[in-house]
A and B are shown apart, each in its own frame.
Chain A
């Protein structure tokens, strides 16, 4: 498949935004459970507004993917069957919840509404946080299922696509939360940094298993099934056009196969070992900048990872478009 920059930016940016939003909620839950010091409302407010900025950036990038962005509102119509439609519904919902969650913290709408048991006082921010968590997880599933639901793209048609999107996105968001805390000089940087490392490790294992699975994949469609001729030697000589076409542009990445191989080592390094080293180092020297560098490098790695995700998918239609002549 041809990797479109708009889709790469969309999926990586909203992944980081969703992860950061989850990180803010996690921080609040830990504080409620007295595992962490309670933060001022401004901390959660700015954090979720930063998450909103990433979600908005992703949404903005997605418009560049459309031939008719002015009709994008129509995309909510087929939510019963289309994962893309579901994503288009859930993404604004997550954005709205991130916004309201931030506003509720900014204006300290924290008067308890009711109480569960002896200790748990439920206020508006907690309710918004829980709905936000559900919506965010649903958005991860919707985004990933757009790809995982295409059964002809065998490289994508696996639950590992969903777990990659979920864990790598959350990892990048927690890394962003660590960078944000470091920038503020907030002690939560160790908490977020540690979770970021754990989630990055899980995401990397998931992606590694995904790569191993794809390396062993046997294409279900062959030239024989594509044109229905049972002979072992079939070579395409012409494709009905002397130039390229939509089919040759959209379904081929147009790069050397070695680049796809090399990119694998590059992104695996950028996603896991480098950020982990930087986070570890920042604990030792209490640097306010290293977690920011860690996030930026990991985000770059995730963009390369998403590029490779597209480039390594081999669409069966390519069987009909093997040589331009």
Chain B
């Protein structure tokens, strides 16, 4: 059985929010949209997002690290949001494991959002139905697109390639290899929801500094304080030529 998922590499996520904006752009105008925004240019803007990047500071200054943490629906293998839905609007696709909401059936009772420990579901204020990441289901299952474009918008937009997409049940897929070889883990494993999305941990990086690099060495080509400048044409002057 296929279980599509995202694998997010925290080691390279720089918190640029490109995944957030591309997700919003693609989905607000597509099958799952609109993802309404209220007061976008005022003091308390609010709106519906499928994907948010949160920022945590780990450790205490000066030994602190900033972790940018993108989070969307994790497409759990045991999704707690599905059995609680009274109308059957919340369902897990049997063919690829994507958890979806049927907006025509949703009554907006919010029970699924209570049952999700990750806060991945958001009630759309305008449509009054529950919305969540669809893994860009309209895009990944569109056979008319070229193979390389059949990926979620966030994955295609990520400039640092921090997001991988694939089938975690296929042991040879890019995501399975990444999980296996780089210690991919799940969020809140204590609840037994078995999230399909995994995270790759940050890796310890060694930064070697040689002692002689700690003291400033003057530019051997240009002694700053004693340059004998006598009015002849220099490279600095060349830059102004023609202006």
Contact = CB atoms under 8 A, between A and B. Distances in A.
Given A151-B191, A241-B49, A317-B118, A81 B55 contact: no
B52 A67 contact: no
B146 interface: no
Contacts, number: 177
Contact of B191 (A82, A83, A152, A235): A152
B71 to A, nearest CB: 6
Interface string B201-240: 1100000000000000000000000000000000000000
B52 A88 contact: no
Contacts of A297: none
Contacts of A320: 54, 71, 118-119
Contact of A81 (B46, B83, B113, B118): B83
Given A225-B189, A237-B57, A85 B86 contact: yes
A88 B88 CA distance: 14
Interface residues of A, number: 57
Contacts of B83: 78, 81-82
A324 B121 CA distance: 18
Contacts of A321: 119
A176 B88 CA distance: 37
Interface stretch (B26-34, B101-109, B169-177): B101-109
Interface string A248-270: 00110000000000000000000
Contact of A67 (B20, B67, B85, B128): B128
A227 B57 CA distance: 12
B109 A317 contact: no
A228 interface: yes
A115 interface: no
Interface stretch (B58-66, B135-143, B151-159, B160-168): B58-66
Given A68-B129, A77-B87, A151-B191, A233 B58 contact: yes
Contact of A235 (B56, B84, B107): B56
Contact of A250 (B17, B71, B87, B110): B110
A212 B111 CA distance: 27
Interface in A236-294: 236-247, 250-251
Main secondary structure of the interface of B (DSSP, over half): loop
Given A66-B108, A233-B58, A237-B55, A152 B187 contact: no
Contacts of A152: 80, 115, 117, 191
A241 B108 contact: no
Contacts of A225: 187-190
Interface string B30-57: 0000000001000111111100111111
A268 B228 CA distance: 89
Contact of A227 (B47, B59, B69, B128): B69
A69 B107 contact: yes
A114 B152 CA distance: 69
Given A71-B87, A83-B84, A316-B117, A236 B55 contact: yes
A64 B115 CA distance: 20
Contacts of B190: 220-221, 225
A65 B109 contact: yes
A228 B46 contact: no
Contact of A77 (B57, B88, B129): B88
A72 B48 CA distance: 23
Nearest to A85: B86
A119 interface: no
A57 interface: no
A82 B128 CA distance: 21
A149 interface: yes
A84 interface: yes
A67 B52 CA distance: 24
B139 to A, nearest CB: 22
A67 B123 contact: yes
Nearest to A221: B188
Nearest to B123: A246
Nearest to A316: B117
B59 to A, nearest CB: 5
A137 interface: no
Interface of A: 1, 65-69, 71-72, 74-78, 81-85, 88, 146, 149-153, 220-221, 223, 225-229, 231, 233-247, 250-251, 315-318, 320-321
The 10 closest A-B pairs by CB, nearest first: A67-B108, A317-B119, A67-B128, A240-B52, A81-B83, A85-B86, A75-B86, A246-B122, A74-B87, A238-B55
Given A153-B114, A242-B45, 10 more contacts: A67-B107, A77-B86, A78-B88, A85-B87, A150-B115, A229-B58, A231-B58, A236-B56, A241-B45, A246-B48
